[in-house]
Chains A and B, each alone.
Chain A
């Protein structure tokens, strides 16, 4: 059982380029999340999905979009990357999305130059 996988592990990207971070879970969890983690700050929620076919905006959604076509996959797209989007991105999932524990993927380290 892999749990949650993310790809790529790391990426250096030129500003203005489009980039999709991939996230796949095999736990059949209903809810999935995208966070960014920056030094000195707590994890900040970008977007979430409580169930396949639905998505919602988190604390810092600007510049990012998501889709949830099925239960397992939750890709995050940066339409036109900017240097302030340099961060470590974590995907997470939970069974019900409310009080359930969130399980995190290994993260993607993204650098935008």
Chain B
């Protein structure tokens, strides 16, 4: 079967750096997405990786290793507004998005 694994919950301190990991086992791979979802709101797009390596976008970076079935989202200079759930999703060989359950990130002052 297809599987996306992420930690359920993480806690970090304002101003610090946090890395949220995602491992996947899917039938084929056509890219990996990260979305942010604040409580009670819709998911919003953060990043898309299809090639190995690091993609940097401001305070957020996303890394992909296709051979290891692994990605991480790196958040720097954490702000209180970064408290949210972070969803990892993989496009499989049929171009269907397979979603992880999400990682709830709690930021403490």
Contact = CB atoms under 8 A, between A and B. Distances in A.
Interface of A: 40-45, 58-59, 90, 97-99, 101-107
B4 interface: yes
Contacts, number: 46
Contacts of A103: 45
Contact of A40 (B97, B98, B101): B101
A104 B42 contact: yes
Contacts of B33: 101
A99 B47 CA distance: 12
Nearest to A6: B42
A44 B91 contact: no
A97 B95 contact: yes
A43 B41 contact: no
Contacts of A101: 33, 45, 48
Contacts of B95: 97-99
Contact of B44 (A40, A45, A58, A104): A104
